[in-house]
């Protein structure tokens, strides 16, 4: 999955930029989700637009390990359009 496709999934789930949405709502498998976000989180030019959050009340089924940290939600800044 490329960045443009990921952002499209986020927008469909969140309804717009800057809105916290469950990572699970992006409709990807656990393996794909963790692999894609691990890769993108390591790229400063991309990761600065991503904001992860861990809502501790979430079921373990909805917790993803992103570069070793448990995360449940994401928001993406609209400025990411600059790199699409």
Strands (E) across the chain are located at 21-22, 50-53, 64-66, 69-71, 73-76
pLDDT of residue 60: 85
End-to-end CA distance of the chain: 13
Average pLDDT, the chain: 95
Q: What is the pLDDT along the chain (84 residues), one digit of tens a residue?
A: 899 999 999 999 999 999 999 999 999 999 999 999 999 999 999 999 999 999 977 688 899 999 999 999 999 999 999 999
Q: Give the residue extent of every domain in the chain.
A: 3-83
- pLDDT tens digits, one per residue of 44-67: 999 999 999 999 776 888 999 999
């Amino acid at each position: 999955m490329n960045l443009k496709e990921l952002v499209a999934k986020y927008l469909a789930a969140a309804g717009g930029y800057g809105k916290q949405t469950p990572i699970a709502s992006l409709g990807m498998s656990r393996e794909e989700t963790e692999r894609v976000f691990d890769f993108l989180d390591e790229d400063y030019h991309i990761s600065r637009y991503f904001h992860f959050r861990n809502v501790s009340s979430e079921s373990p089924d909805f917790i993803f390990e992103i570069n070793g940290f448990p995360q449940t939600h994401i928001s993406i800044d609209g400025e990411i359009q600059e790199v699409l």
